[in-house]
Amino acid sequence: MYAGVIFLIIFLSLFSVENIFSQTEENPDCTAVHHIGRLVLSSGGGTSFGGIYNNDATDCLLNKKVFKYGIEYPKNSGISALSWGYIFIGGIIDSDTLVNTNTYSPIYWEKYRSTLEPNNPDYEGAVSEQDYVSVSVDNSVNSRYISTDYKPLNIQVTKKSYAWSYEYAEDFVLFDIEIKNIGKKPINETYIGLHLSFATGYFNGNNAPENDNLSGLYIGNKTENKCTDFRDNLKFLWGADNDGNPVDGEYTDILGIVDG
């Protein structure tokens, strides 16, 4: 038993200058969840997505309990594919090497907008049927999110995620992450990395699918056709259950629908 998931993360610009949305903080205690397609994925603060949630976590749009793990695919199947993920950002300021491992304080949380709701005040700029937009900084001393001994890169992150219900687009969520240097000094030798923590397998409400995973990095380099020298480079992280989790003692590829 397995679950396949596609992550498409687009870095449109590094250290860009942009006029962003009005700075409002909507309910920080609910969870922003993409559920309009077959891939159910929560979008967290800073650069994060996914997560492991307690029984009190609710969906901001549906006002109902969220799936415990960061991804469920297909929707209502009970199959988990991820615990959580986020982006590492590192660089050198003066002679000091600094790395941010998703340590941010919000300017505003996951703002919702949709192409299906033209009368919504936040409709302008909507890209998909389910957009979430957040803006966070790493240099605000907020004891709830950032400790006083944290040394920031002085960056601002604008994270936008998009999902659709169309058959050709219902199996993925797109992320557009913009990183802006808001400090007075340049950040040299900047590196960006993606960290994923997998939890792959059927979740029956009591088991822990994150305890027996396989994962790795796939690097592909092949010629698309014999008429050109162009080589297609592909790199992606993958995760899988190491043995398949039996349902009621049996291995099957047919799952019952659970309350979603």
- At 210, is the secondary structure helix, strand, or coil? helix
Task: Check residue 12 and give its pLDDT.
Answer: 41
Q: What is the pTM of this model?
A: 0.80
Mean predicted confidence (pLDDT) in 1-12: 42
CA–CA separation, 189 and 14 (whole Å): 12
Q: Which long-range contacts does 215-221 make (Cβ < 8 Å, 24+ apart)? A: 215/239, 215/240
pLDDT tens for residues 212-255?
788 888 887 765 556 666 666 777 888 888 777 666 666 555 44
Instruction: Copy the structure tokens of residue 42.
Output: 């929560």
Q: With cut-offs at 50, 70 and 90, classify the pLDDT of residue 88.
A: very high
Whole-number pLDDT of residue 206: 79
* pLDDT score of 6 more than 60: no
Percentage of the chain beyond pLDDT 70 is 75
| Interval 131-161: pLDDT, tens | 999 999 998 866 566 767 788 999 999 999 9
Q: Give the Cα separation of 173 and 176 in Å (integer).
A: 10
